[in-house]
Structure 1
């Protein structure tokens, strides 16, 4: 009798949890949107506060730093506390930061603090959403949901600069702070549909989290500022972090996680792929402006089809992951990514809509890789490692966007690639863009090789079941 009641209770909980699926997609859109929506407004903000490029970059940088670190912290907390409580706290904090930034937009220090609060609250959403999917849904359900989540993320990344440029240009950049506020309406639904989880044993290793935060922050600052003091601080903080997790009973990140070779390599692959795509998204508007003389609205028009395609093909990627396995979908995505970058590299200066078509292929490939790679990561983690493991994976991907984009900006500024590498290019102004994009395609190929060495000799569980 007790077993029957337990099964009935579990069935009821699952039906309730599945009602939260729409709100999972809803909140992830607004969380990721804020990663890119402020980028196009930085020139206007710099002009208002009389700031140089380094000064105004903190509007974006502080958000990336806090957002990236927050994904790991919330992931660790989710191993101890109820997801329902954590996601409520995150949404409320995200909204407080948004309102504070809007009200205090005339004070630059307050703008930076507001962006930090946004990052602290917003980071709860991707961290906890991935954990909800990994913890409460079956493998087949996960594949489909990761596909839709990836398409939502890709669309938000792509539409962010377009939407940000329109709002900042038509009204005022301060209204960008209000964009996340619709997320508040999701709170009662999460409170209703997510289960009441008991507090589990464990505690947060604050000192370990602090050393990781210092290491990551200093690394990002080093790539942006090029001051060696940040590199030294990164090294010291990293050593202290490693010593900490090896010595304490309940470390912030269990050392066993890094002993998992396939998980460790998945972190590297995630860093390379996300950094590559974010770099391409950073370089493409510059290239369209410089080579094709397009204005902001025209650039948005060229890039929008790619962002929109992610909505469609992310779902396709999820379905393919279920039917063919993550192994097949990752390879297909990497092929599309590398192919699109190679084609773009040799087409700069030609018909502009060729670029738009290749961007569609780029977004589709990214959707495929992210969907299937995320599923691959969940497959190599033990159940008690899902929280911090997925949090760390998300942090690495997010931080990659900040680090690699900063490196690409320096490469473009220092004119390192001003020579002919691609034989299909003849315009000297196109050389830096074409060469850089070609190098990004090589990074994708390296990622494909690493994936093969890590996962290629093992078929996924889905494929195994199909056999």
Structure 2
């Protein structure tokens, strides 16, 4: 056995665990696909049930709330229970929610309930995939797998709206509930190839779990709905959660995890980077529609090359992380994202494909950051904290998209950035989007500076080739 930097031990190269790798990518694709496949169907759902925008948004919002919290819960459970059992339970729950949603397609509360169940089961997949990679594979294998995982996620994000539009347009939006069902095929393979682990110490902290659920749900609701009562409940839940984990014997998360300043900063870095990029993906279609008057199909065509480029460069990022180290790849990715946002901010009103070219650069940079930042975070966690530590990191990354996108939407609605600033932008209609994207670019630069300050003394650097 070759010890890893974080204290875990990989299984040997002849182990059956290696045979599960393709199935890991397979189920992750469907888990991520379901995050975006429903977005384009919300107008059809709203028409069927006579809902306004706030009402139909629950189809997406409830999934993200449960999905975000579920990632942390399954991460914690993986430190106690057998990963094989947990991932099979997650797949079954995910599929049950899908079948239930299709059966209850004519009853809106049933649709919302089914999306919540989908979120609960689906959250097990990314949570446990990262645990499996971090726990059972050595550093060289991890870096390459994180690269392919990034490609898989990028492809699912890119193809999700396309597939969702096709299914909803050609059949009925309810058939989107059936999209995840192929994950059931993976169960016998995980049953055969994943190792059976002994039970770990501790038990699930139900009170801490409930407080975390309330905290995340109220925070997302505050940013999407804007009611101050949600923010008040968020602060109360946060105070109670902190007090609780310091008081009980087996807390949901060991407070010592947050005593690690590098890890704390990594959560902030992940929130800023993921939230920024995902909010750009939200704002750019609105900008193109308003400034250029293009159709939804054309906008999708402009953005699609960027998503596909991330598929290719995700694997490149994994290889580069092995050869050059995670720090180099993170910095390179952040430079590409920052340059892309600067170009986008400067190109509004010019040929629209300048925006498309800049988006390709952003997607490539984001694929680099996703791959290398995950490796950097994995390396700062001790083995007994990998499950919940990566769970929190993935939760923060997931909910950041909902939170930052909601803030960006409010800034657009209130025209907060509608003033002349950029010297190359003379069209008053472009001020708001140009300044907004420029501001998001500044956030990316700040994230890079925080990464440098936090990780400069932590040198995972080139992964050694292990024999």
| TM-score calculated relative to the size of structure 2 | 0.95
> Is 2:461 aligned against 1:434?
no
Structure-to-structure mapping, 1:63-78, within 5 angstroms: 63-78=63-78
Looking at structure 2, the residues matched to 400 and 275 of structure 1 have their Cα atoms a distance apart, in angstroms, of: 5
Looking at structure 2, the residues matched to 202 and 400 of structure 1 have their Cα atoms a distance apart, in angstroms, of: 30
Q: Secondary structure at the match of 1:123?
A: helix
Match of 1:458 in 2: 458
Match of 1:117 in 2: 117
The farther-off stretch of 154-163 and 74-83 is 154-163
Match of 1:145 in 2: 145
> Is 2:374 aligned against 1:374?
yes
How far residue 300 of structure 1 moved from its aligned partner, in angstroms, is 1.5
Match of 1:296 in 2: 296
Looking at structure 1, the residues matched to 342 and 27 of structure 2 have their Cα atoms a distance apart, in angstroms, of: 34
How far residue 427 of structure 1 moved from its aligned partner, in angstroms, is 2.3
How far residue 166 of structure 1 moved from its aligned partner, in angstroms, is 2.6
Structure-to-structure mapping, 1:31-430, within 5 angstroms: 31-430=31-430
How far residue 178 of structure 1 moved from its aligned partner, in angstroms, is 1.3
> Is 2:27 aligned against 1:22?
no
Contact persistence 1:341–1:441 (CA under 8 A): yes
How far residue 88 of structure 1 moved from its aligned partner, in angstroms, is 0.5
CA-to-partner distance for each residue in 1:137-169, whole Å, 9 max, x for gaps?
000110000011112112222222222223222
Distance of aligned partners of 1:463 and 1:137 in 2 relative to their CA distance in 1, 3 Å threshold: closer
Looking at structure 1, the residues matched to 14 and 47 of structure 2 have their Cα atoms a distance apart, in angstroms, of: 52
CA-to-partner distance for each residue in 1:230-274, whole Å, 9 max, x for gaps?
111001111110011001111100000000011110010000111
Contact persistence 2:127–2:390 (CA under 8 A): yes
Q: Secondary structure at the match of 1:197?
A: coil
How far residue 224 of structure 1 moved from its aligned partner, in angstroms, is 1.0
How far residue 463 of structure 1 moved from its aligned partner, in angstroms, is 6.3
| Equivalent residue pairs, number | 457
Contact persistence 1:270–1:396 (CA under 8 A): yes
How far residue 14 of structure 1 moved from its aligned partner, in angstroms, is 5.1
Looking at structure 1, the residues matched to 255 and 40 of structure 2 have their Cα atoms a distance apart, in angstroms, of: 40
Task: Quote the RMSD (CA, aligned, Å).
Answer: 1.6
How far residue 429 of structure 1 moved from its aligned partner, in angstroms, is 2.1
CA-to-partner distance for each residue in 1:21-79, whole Å, 9 max, x for gaps?
11111111111111111112212211221111111111110000000000000001001
Contact persistence 2:11–2:136 (CA under 8 A): no
How far residue 457 of structure 1 moved from its aligned partner, in angstroms, is 3.4
Match of 1:4 in 2: none
Task: Give structure 2 stretches of 5+ with no counterpart.
Answer: 1-9
The farther-off stretch of 156-165 and 129-138 is 156-165
The farther-off stretch of 457-466 and 434-443 is 457-466
Contact persistence 1:152–1:310 (CA under 8 A): no
Looking at structure 1, the residues matched to 456 and 150 of structure 2 have their Cα atoms a distance apart, in angstroms, of: 22
Looking at structure 1, the residues matched to 12 and 317 of structure 2 have their Cα atoms a distance apart, in angstroms, of: 29
Looking at structure 2, the residues matched to 167 and 356 of structure 1 have their Cα atoms a distance apart, in angstroms, of: 26
Looking at structure 2, the residues matched to 446 and 100 of structure 1 have their Cα atoms a distance apart, in angstroms, of: 44
Q: Secondary structure at the match of 1:462?
A: coil
Distance of aligned partners of 1:215 and 1:115 in 2 relative to their CA distance in 1, 3 Å threshold: same
CA-to-partner distance for each residue in 1:408-447, whole Å, 9 max, x for gaps?
1111111112222222222222222211111110110010
Q: Secondary structure at the match of 1:459?
A: coil
Contact persistence 1:14–1:136 (CA under 8 A): no
The farther-off stretch of 267-276 and 196-205 is 196-205
Contact persistence 2:134–2:386 (CA under 8 A): yes
Task: Give structure 1 stretches of 5+ with no counterpart.
Answer: 1-9
Distance of aligned partners of 1:389 and 1:236 in 2 relative to their CA distance in 1, 3 Å threshold: same
The farther-off stretch of 327-336 and 182-191 is 182-191
Looking at structure 2, the residues matched to 191 and 463 of structure 1 have their Cα atoms a distance apart, in angstroms, of: 31
How far residue 13 of structure 1 moved from its aligned partner, in angstroms, is 8.2
Looking at structure 1, the residues matched to 460 and 118 of structure 2 have their Cα atoms a distance apart, in angstroms, of: 37
| TM-score calculated relative to the size of structure 1 | 0.95
Contact persistence 1:211–1:241 (CA under 8 A): yes
CA-to-partner distance for each residue in 1:194-247, whole Å, 9 max, x for gaps?
011122221000101111111111011111111111111001111110011001
Contact persistence 1:30–1:180 (CA under 8 A): yes
Contact persistence 1:74–1:86 (CA under 8 A): yes
Match of 2:3 in 1: none
